[in-house]
Amino acid sequence: MIENKGSTEIIMKELTVELTTKCQMNCLWCSSDYGEEFELKLNEVYEILYDCKKEGFLVVRFSGGEPTLYPELLECIMLAKQMDYEVVLLTNGLIKYYNSGIDRYEIQWHKEAINTIEWLKNIMKCNVIVNVVNVVESNIVDCIDYCSQNDIPIHIMKLQKTGRAMKSVLHEIDISITGDKGCSRNNKLLFIPSGHKLKCTADKFNNICKVKGCVVDE
Phi (first) and psi of residue 132, to 5 degrees: -120, 115
> Is 59 a residue whose pLDDT tops 70?
yes
Residue 201 vs residue 6, higher pLDDT: 201
Return the top range by mean pLDDT from 31-35, 56-60, 195-199.
56-60
Q: Over 80: is that where the pLDDT of 158 sits?
A: no
114-143 burial code (b ≥16 CB/10 A, e <16) = bebbebbbeebebebbbbbbbbebbbbeeb
Write the CA distances from 22 to 36, 37, 147, integer angstroms. 9, 7, 28
- List the domains of the chain with CATH numbers: 2-198 (3.20.20.70)
In the structure, what pLDDT confidence band is assigned to residue 195 with cuts at 50, 70 and 90? confident
Q: What is the mean pLDDT of the chain?
A: 80
Taking only the tens place, the pLDDT of each residue in 102-149 is: 999 999 988 889 999 999 999 999 999 998 876 655 567 888 889 999
Rounded Cα distance between 138 and 131, Å, is: 10
